[in-house]
Amino acid sequence: MPASMCDENDDVVFSCPLAQSTRTVSLCASPGVPDAGPAFYYAFGHAGVPELRFPARGTVNNAAFSRTHLGFAGNTGGYAYAFTNAGHKYIVYAISGKQTPRDGGVIVQSPGASTMATRRACRSTAITETSDNALIDATLHLKKDMQIQSHGLPETR
């Protein structure tokens, strides 16, 4: 399996090495509490050395995460997972379609910014996404981000 920032016994929901970087961005799921489903977390950094993990190791905060379906013309679509940490909004996304090259990455919006954001793209040939139906179903129970639902992904610089 390609490298991820997920802990050894956790599941990869989404992961990719970033283009022109030695860092990896991952959305992971640990087993969590029985009958409560997996506990989601975001991890970013160099292999084995996270620069950012949200929420902190040992805590569960699934209510902080959202999952929003992305739909575009031409049978193109995807999803976006988002959360806010220290005022910054992080959006992990993946897009694919028949006429569109596979795309993914992480977008970070600074506090107070409504549109402009920084985007770090994945190496498109190295995106890992779960195919575990139970895990996908668990992500579908996360709330929707109404800003992304209404306006799509924010413009990036």
pLDDT at 6 over 70: yes
pLDDT tens-digit series, residues 18-28: 998 999 999 99
* Distance (Å, whole) CA 106 – CA 104: 7
- Asked whether residue 68 is domain-assigned, the answer is yes
- Asked whether residue 47 is domain-assigned, the answer is yes
pLDDT tens-digit series, residues 105-154: 999 988 876 666 789 999 878 889 999 999 999 999 999 999 888 888 88
- Asked whether residue 156 is domain-assigned, the answer is no
- Asked whether residue 52 is domain-assigned, the answer is yes
- pTM to 2 decimals? 0.89
The boundaries of the domain holding residue 95 are 11-151
- Asked whether residue 132 is domain-assigned, the answer is yes
* Distance (Å, whole) CA 35 – CA 74: 39
Number of domains present in the structure of the chain: 1
pLDDT tens-digit series, residues 62-92: 999 999 998 766 666 789 999 999 999 999 9
